[in-house]
Amino acid sequence: MLVPYPEAHDSNIGKRIVKDTRPVNLDLTSVKFPLPAITSILHRISGVAIFFGVAVLLYLLQLSLASEAGFEQVQEYFTNPLVKLVVWLLLCGLLYHLIAGVKHLIMDFGIGETKAGAKTGAIVTIALSVVAFAVAGVWIW
Amino acid sequence: MVTNATSFSRSGLTDWLVQRLSAVVLGAYMLCILGSFVVHPDMDYEQWRALFAADSMRIFSLLSLAALCAHAWIGMWTVGTDYLTSLQFGKGATSIRLAYQAICILLIAVYLIWGIRIFWGT
Ligand code: HEM
């Protein structure tokens, strides 16, 4: 669950807000992490990652547009396996965030907002993403 | 109503909406760029430069840049306010969160100015 206003917690500092008799579950392997939860956290991770990745994209764009020599320099970069890997990972992040984002928007319209719908959406998101990653990989290599 | 001094629009509802509208703009821009690679796989420099020099594309690029700045601010803000709270950091949480937000806004400002130079300055 998102907690938009964490300040709300500040009043709880130093106070015991839970009963000591509550059950404690330390067996982390028993904590369920259903598919929709995984697609959701990946959407968040991809969002943060591409936020920093934009720097790489702007750099490459600026260089490629600056001059013919810059354009060739970028093409030269792309012969480097490490650059290919980084750009591919970045592309995967963008594609995933896009696909999961579109799913998110569809659900915001109230479509598929059931437990079963969420699972279907998650499966479709993962399936489309895997295909997109593969296509991006083939394109880069 | 709860308001917050650091959120993008001071309103969670407006932030929510801006996040979605900017997502649509960014998504369209991404598909446009990716599409241009599919349609013209072997662009040379002249074609590449001409693509970004067209007025329609300049407007679309700048619009997307603005969308990126708003989207990233709201998104990073949401992430920060989820994890950098007094629940995890106790009394120092507000300072930690402000420092994190300062770094985010700095990077966003750099992207904005840098992007304007790229899309409109050349
Ligand atoms: C290219 C630049 C983009 C960046 C840097 C970016 C970054 C982020 C970040 C950091 C978040 C916060 C994640 C969270 O709260 O869990 C987010 C949320 C979101 N993004 Fe993006 N994003 C980008 C593009 C897109 C695109 C193209 C879409 C397309 C559909 C999109 C859809 C969304 C949606 C719907 C949310 C809200 C998620 C929520 O409320 O939980 N984003 N984005």
Stretch B68-91: mean pLDDT: 96
Residue A46 contacts residue A100 (beta carbons within 8 Å): yes
Ligand 1 atom closest to the CA of B79, numbered from 1:
15
Give, in degrees to the nearest 5, the angle at Cα B5 between B3 and B9.
Answer: 70
- Atom 23, ligand 1: which residue's CA is nearest? A47
Site to probe by mutation for ligand 1, drawn from A39, A42, A43, A46 as the one with most ligand atoms within 8 Å of Cβ, is: A43
pLDDT reported for residue B91: 93
Q: Which of A10, A55, A98 sits opposite B30 (nearest CB)?
A: A98
Arithmetic mean of pLDDT over chain A = 89
Domain harbouring B60, CATH code: 1.20.1300.10
Task: Break chain A into its structural domains and give their ranges.
Answer: 42-140
Number of domain units in chain B: 1
Tens digit of each residue's pLDDT (9 = 90 or more) over B82-108 = 999 999 999 999 999 999 999 999 999
Beta strands in chain B (DSSP E): none
User: Residue B5 falls within a domain, yes or no?
Assistant: no
Could you tell me the pTM of the whole model?
A: 0.89
- Atom 14, ligand 1: which residue's CA is nearest? A44
User: Residue B7 falls within a domain, yes or no?
Assistant: no
ipTM for the complex shown: 0.94
pLDDT reported for residue A33: 86
Q: How far apart are the first and last CA of chain B?
A: 46
Would the CB atoms of B27 and A102 count as touching at under 8 Å?
yes
B27–chain A nearest CA distance, Å: 6
- Low-confidence residues of chain A, pLDDT below 50? 1, 3, 5-8
* Domain housing B87: 12-120
Tell me which residues of chain B, numbers 71 to 90, contact chain A at a CB-CB cutoff of 8 Å: 72, 75-76, 78-79, 81-82, 84-87, 90
- CA contacts within 13 A on the Cβ side of B75: 24
Residue in this structure with the two tokens 């007094």, named with its chain if needed: B86
- Indicate the burial class of A126 (C-beta count within 10 angstroms; 0-12, 13-18, 19 or more): middle
User: Residue B6 falls within a domain, yes or no?
Assistant: no
Of B117, B66, B118, nearest to A60 (Cα)? B118
Would the CB atoms of B115 and A55 count as touching at under 8 Å?
no
Q: Which of B12, B85, B111 sits opposite A54 (nearest CB)?
A: B111
Ligand 1 atom closest to the CA of B29, numbered from 1:
27
CA distance B97 to A48: 16
pLDDT reported for residue A100: 98
pLDDT reported for residue A80: 97
Enter the CATH code of domain A42-140.
Answer: 1.20.1300.10
Is the model's pLDDT at B74 over the cut of 60?
Answer: yes
User: Residue B3 falls within a domain, yes or no?
Assistant: no
% of chain B beyond a pLDDT of 90: 92
How far, in Å, is the centroid of ligand 1 from the Cα of B19? 7
State how far the alpha carbon of B84 is from the alpha carbons of A11, A50, A89, B93, in Å: 16, 20, 27, 6
Would the CB atoms of B78 and A98 count as touching at under 8 Å?
no
Tens digit of each residue's pLDDT (9 = 90 or more) over B16-64 = 999 999 999 999 999 999 999 999 999 999 999 999 999 999 999 999 9
